[in-house]
Amino acid sequence: MKVLMFGWEFPPHISGGLGTACMGLSKALIDAHVSLLFVVPKAYGDEAIDLINASEVIIGEETLSLILEEATVEESKVITISSGLKPYTYEESLQTCEAWNWEYISSPRIVKVLSGGARYAFSGKYGPSLMEEVARYADVAPVIGSQYSYDVIHAHDWLTFPAGIEVKRLSGKPLVVHIHATEFDRAGDAHINEEVFAIEKRGMEEADAVVAVSQWTKDIVVQKYHIDPAKVKVVHNGIVQGEEPAKASLPKISDSVVTFLGRITHQKGPQYFIEAARQILDYFPDVHFIMAGSGDLLPAMVDRVAQLKLSTRFHFTGFLKSDQIEQVWSVTDVYIMPSVSEPFGITPLEASQAGVPVIISNQSGVAEVMDHAVKVDFWDIAALANAIISILKHKGLSESLKVNAKKELKTLTWRRAATQLNQLYHEL
């Protein structure tokens, strides 16, 4: 079985869970003797597997001239196409907290190659010219598609769907689209980006099979995108099995530390964390709360914490690097993920691996596979507060959650996911 796979990011160059999931899945597929051609917009060379770097693909003059016609081009060796697109997801943070947020991208650049043709220098990030990069990725994909042979095309999330569709059209091979998150999770029902929604829907419609990372996500795919449920297969994510990392040295600011770790966006429900904290602090004034991560809701969350006068008990870390995440786990007594709509949610598994007891919302895919976590509805602040206090106060509870969740992790492997996928490939 030979699979041509399109991704957007790959560890260690990631900003979210998509890259982590792609790596876990890829390694497991390779172990299951699937030969994998994994394409990313920009490879750095330090990834764990060999990647096809779309930034190095030479596009012929014919394709190039088509694209250049659409764009304003200057006569120079390095041509920058101005996108004119507004940042569509992190607009607010651009104005307020950019230094603490993401690395923003400029437009993809076309670099002319001496031997004729040109290549795109993709950034592979998420910024103002994301839409344009997605379109250019689809321009480059057929060139890659024609250079290799494969049995199946597999595209991860909407960013790669146009690329997948183009290659299917060219090669006639079956297309699998993998839904790690939908626009409804990211933006919430009221703030759907129509353009993104349309790309997602078209990808699912054109695909021969849709993989959803949870039943929660499959339900969204069926209900909101009107996809035939028979075409949608649930394959839960796994976690890379590893040892508990060595405790990073960070002074403990309090005997009781509760952590939220994730993007500070609508999807992750950060406000419910704050409201729960407020209830807890009324009774236990020495509990500290870490809000780790960044995102468009960060300023609003800072404002809310200040308004409640909780700032000495709340710590905002900004975006974290991986070693800093380990540091945060090392001082955390409870991790909480109050997501409003979480397709899967890999962070609770990472917390468990680091020996941290976990509270998750029922509105998450990970709740379907994790038994040894406390589960609450994200909106039920009293239940959230109660769960946090129970874990902080009852060592017995906290210990059994820790120990059992760790055991449970051993069954949540990427190998299981790879087996299911491999089966799906053969059915196509």
Partner 1 sequence: MNSEKKRHLNLYFQLHQPRRLRKFQFFDIGLKDNYFDDDLNRDIVCRIAARSYLPANRLLLKLIRKHPQLRVTFSVSGVLLEQFELYAPEVLYSFKQLAETGAVEFLGETYHHSLSYFINCEEFIDQIGRHQQKLNELLGVTPKFFRNTELIYSDAIGKIVADLGFEGIYIDGIEKVLNGNTPNALYRHASEDLVLLPRNYQLSDDIAFRYSDKNWSEWPLTGRKFAGWISMLPRHERFVSLGMDYETFGEHKTSDSGIFKFLEAFIDSAAARKTITFINPSEAIRVLPAEQTLSSTRAISWADQERDLSAWLGNDMQRDAFDSLYKFHDAVMKSRNEKLISAYTYLQTSDHFYYMSTKKGSDGVVHQYFSPYGSPYEAFINYMNVIADLEFRIKQNTQRLAKMKNSVSNPLSVIPSDT
Q: Give the residue with the Cβ less far from partner 1, 99 or 230.
A: 99
Q: Give the residue with the Cβ less far from partner 1, 188 or 299.
A: 299
Name the one residue in this structure whose structure tokens are 């960060």: 298
Binding flag, residue 98, partner 1 (CB under 8 A) = yes
Q: Chain-centre distance of CA 73, in angstroms?
A: 34
CB of 327 to partner 1, least distance (A): 6
Q: Give the residue with the Cβ less far from partner 1, 32 or 308.
A: 308
Q: Which residues of 302-330 are buried (b: 16+ CB within 10 A; e: fewer)?
A: bebbeeeeeeebbbbbebbeeeebbbbbb
R_g of the chain computed on alpha carbons:
22
Binding flag, residue 315, partner 1 (CB under 8 A) = yes
Cα atoms in the 13 Å half-sphere on the side-chain side of 175: 26
CB of 323 to partner 1, least distance (A): 10
Q: Give the residue with the Cβ less far from partner 1, 25 or 274.
A: 274
- Can you tell me the distance from the alpha carbon of 370 to that of 237, in angstroms, rounded to the nearest whole number? 11
Q: Give the residue with the Cβ less far from partner 1, 225 or 273.
A: 273
Segment near partner 1 (CB under 8 A); pick from 78-86, 149-157, 185-193, 296-304 = 296-304
- Can you tell me the distance from the alpha carbon of 348 to that of 345, in angstroms, rounded to the nearest whole number? 7
- Can you tell me the distance from the alpha carbon of 381 to that of 379, in angstroms, rounded to the nearest whole number? 6
- Can you tell me the distance from the alpha carbon of 186 to that of 146, in angstroms, rounded to the nearest whole number? 34
Q: Tell me which of 12, 27, 100, 419 binds partner 1, using CB under 8 A.
A: 100
Q: What residues from 244 to 263 belong to the interface with partner 1 (CB under 8 A)?
A: 250-251, 253
- Can you tell me the distance from the alpha carbon of 342 to that of 345, in angstroms, rounded to the nearest whole number? 6
Segment near partner 1 (CB under 8 A); pick from 26-34, 190-198, 292-300, 380-388 = 292-300
Binding flag, residue 309, partner 1 (CB under 8 A) = yes
Binding flag, residue 307, partner 1 (CB under 8 A) = yes
- Can you tell me the distance from the alpha carbon of 398 to that of 391, in angstroms, rounded to the nearest whole number? 5
Binding flag, residue 373, partner 1 (CB under 8 A) = no
- Can you tell me the distance from the alpha carbon of 55 to that of 137, in angstroms, rounded to the nearest whole number? 9
Q: Tell me which of 147, 311, 322, 423 binds partner 1, using CB under 8 A.
A: 311
Q: Give the residue with the Cβ less far from partner 1, 244 or 303.
A: 303
Binding flag, residue 115, partner 1 (CB under 8 A) = no
Segment near partner 1 (CB under 8 A); pick from 112-120, 143-151, 297-305, 375-383 = 297-305
Binding flag, residue 377, partner 1 (CB under 8 A) = no
DSSP string, 52-111: EEGGGPPBPHHHHHHHHHHS---SSSEEE----PPPSSSHHHHHH-GGGSPPP----EEE
Binding flag, residue 264, partner 1 (CB under 8 A) = no
Name the one residue in this structure whose structure tokens are 């040894």: 372
Chain residues in the site for partner 1 (CB under 8 A): 96-100, 250-251, 253, 290, 292, 298-299, 302-303, 305-307, 309-312, 314-318, 324, 327
